[in-house]
């Protein structure tokens, strides 16, 4: 066996090696690209060490123990790897990792629970945003003399919360469908359906925003026409972003799905 | 019998040693380790994973440059990067050697060792 060719190693051998690499790399606060590079290089190293140790020890367990010992303690490696990451990259990565910890499915969380949690999160964020932005829009438009009724504003904020909460729910299910689909993500019907629904929500939300500052039917109809023209772009944008995220997931899957216990 | 050199004894010298082995030509991580091992006559005991963090620090400081190995695509297995000593790294290596000579000369004199 060629010791440096990890694709030829049986999964039972490769898995503990990858787990050891992941133990060192996962806690490092750094950009995704940098962590991926660390994984690739350290996997290359540990499989080569394993190749040497397998030639030395006929017992696979002894070979593995010797490999892990030569590779070093993952916690020490994490500290050393972290020391090579610049301050700005660390800050940016910490922010991204914090957001991801909210968005990603947690351990033992079912698909439905995850979708509901995401929906509530999106609804909460959107209603807070709208509750802040709408009064500013009215002020900017000089409508403080005849502001729309409070019940209308509350209904609008509630609508946005519901619409974006629903979008998050649809989005998370589309993501799940994509993961089942594998590499041919563009042929996933759920993805396109979610794109169309997103465009509908964006259309209604846009009209709602116009309605909140002008009750003139002509304005509303004009806005509806403009938003309708934007719909194909919204659909393509949604599908494209989901596709990119899926590609990234496929690249990372072999690592992020490793259980480190 | 000569004792192994490991852990604390190597602290602070690893990066200069890496620059030194890269002076012989570009290499990827495992090859760098093999060069160190050969140069240390088997007495140098490194935690081998720690070579990469050191290489990343050197790259971050511009002392080495790295690029993915084009031949990696032709073989199976993980990609690897080839590290190369930069001009700045060459200069740092010279300084490191001078520092080391001074260190050995002074400490060796105090300890009464032959320098």
Number of domains in chain B: 1
Assigned domain for B3 exists:
no
Least CA distance to B83: which residue of chain A? A41
Chain A partners of B59 at a C-beta cutoff of 8 Å? 84
CATH number for the domain harbouring residue B43: 1.10.10.10
**HEC states along chain B?**
CCCCEEHHHHCCCHHHHHHHHHCCCCEEHHHHHHHHHHHCCCCEECCHHHHHHHHHHHHHCCCEEEEECHHHHHCCCCCCEEEEECHHHHHHHHHHHHHHHHHHHHHHHHHCCCC
Residue A5 contacts B where some CB pair is shorter than 8 Å: yes
**Domain around B56:** 11-111
- Confidence (pLDDT) at A63: 93
- Confidence (pLDDT) at B74: 60
User: Which residue bears the tokens 């994984």?
Assistant: A39
Residue B4 contacts A where some CB pair is shorter than 8 Å: no
Q: Helices (DSSP H) in A57-110: which residue ranges?
A: 60-71, 74-83, 87-103
Quote the tokens at residue A24: 């060192």
Residue A246 contacts B where some CB pair is shorter than 8 Å: no
- Is residue A53 within 8 A of residue A65, CB to CB? The reply is no
Assigned domain for B98 exists:
yes
d(CA B62, CA B46): 24
Chain B partners of A72 at a C-beta cutoff of 8 Å? 47-50
Residue A46 contacts B where some CB pair is shorter than 8 Å: yes
Q: Tell me the residues of chain B between 65 and 104 that have a Cβ less than 8 Å away from chain A.
A: 75-81
Chain B partners of A73 at a C-beta cutoff of 8 Å? 47
Assigned domain for B104 exists:
yes
Chain A partners of B52 at a C-beta cutoff of 8 Å? 38, 41-42, 45, 81
- Confidence (pLDDT) at A228: 81
Greater confidence, A160 or B76?
A160
- Confidence (pLDDT) at A35: 93
Chain A partners of B36 at a C-beta cutoff of 8 Å? none
- Is residue B63 within 8 A of residue B86, CB to CB? The reply is yes
- Confidence (pLDDT) at A1: 40
pLDDT in tens, chain A (261 residues): 444 455 567 888 899 999 999 999 999 999 988 999 999 999 999 999 999 999 998 898 999 999 999 898 999 999 989 988 888 999 999 999 898 888 888 878 888 888 889 899 988 988 888 888 877 777 776 655 566 677 777 877 888 888 888 888 888 888 888 887 777 777 888 888 888 988 888 887 777 777 666 667 777 778 778 778 888 998 999 889 888 888 888 888 888 888 887
Assigned domain for B2 exists:
no
The partner residue sitting opposite B53, judged by closest CB among A44, A73, A81, is A81
């Amino acid at each position: 066996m060629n010791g440096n060719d990890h694709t030829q190693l049986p999964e039972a051998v490769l898995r503990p090696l990858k787990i050891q690499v992941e133990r060192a790399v996962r806690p490092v606060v750094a950009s995704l690209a940098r962590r991926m590079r660390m994984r690739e290089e350290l996997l290359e190293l540990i499989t080569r060490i394993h190749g040497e140790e397998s030639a030395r020890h006929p017992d696979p367990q002894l070979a593995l123990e010797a490999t892990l010992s030569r590779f070093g303690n993952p916690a020490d490696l994490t500290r050393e790897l972290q020391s090579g990451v610049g301050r700005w990259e660390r800050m940016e990565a910490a922010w991204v990792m914090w957001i991801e910890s909210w968005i990603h499915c947690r351990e033992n969380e079912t698909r439905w629970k995850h979708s509901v949690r995401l929906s509530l999160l999106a609804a909460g964020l959107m209603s807070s945003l709208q509750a802040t932005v709408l009064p500013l829009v009215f002020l900017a438009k000089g409508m403080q003399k005849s502001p729309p009724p409070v019940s209308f504003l509350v209904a609008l904020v509630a609508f946005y919360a519901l619409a974006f909460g629903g979008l998050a729910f649809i989005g998370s299910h589309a993501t799940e469908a994509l993961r089942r689909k594998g590499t041919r993500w563009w042929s996933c019907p759920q993805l396109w359906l979610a794109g169309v629904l997103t465009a509908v929500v964006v259309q209604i939300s846009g009209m709602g925003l116009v309605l909140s500052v002008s009750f003139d039917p002509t304005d509303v109809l004009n806005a509806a026409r403009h938003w309708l023209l934007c719909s194909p772009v919204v659909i393509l944008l949604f599908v494209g972003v989901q596709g990119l995220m899926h590609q990234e997931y496929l690249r990372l899957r072999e690592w992020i799905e490793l259980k480190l216990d | 019998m000569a004792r192994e050199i490991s852990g604390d004894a190597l602290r602070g010298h690893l990066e200069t040693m890496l620059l030194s082995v890269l002076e012989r030509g570009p290499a990827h991580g495992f090859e760098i380790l093999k060069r160190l091992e050969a140069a240390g006559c088997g007495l140098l005991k490194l935690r081998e994973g720690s070579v990469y963090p050191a290489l990343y620090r050197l790259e971050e400081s511009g002392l080495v440059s790295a690029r993915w190995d084009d031949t990696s695509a032709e073989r199976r297995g993980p990609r690897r990067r080839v590290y190369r000593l930069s001009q700045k790294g060459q200069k740092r290596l010279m300084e490191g050697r001078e520092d080391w000579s001074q260190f050995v000369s002074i400490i060796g004199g105090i300890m009464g060792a032959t320098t």
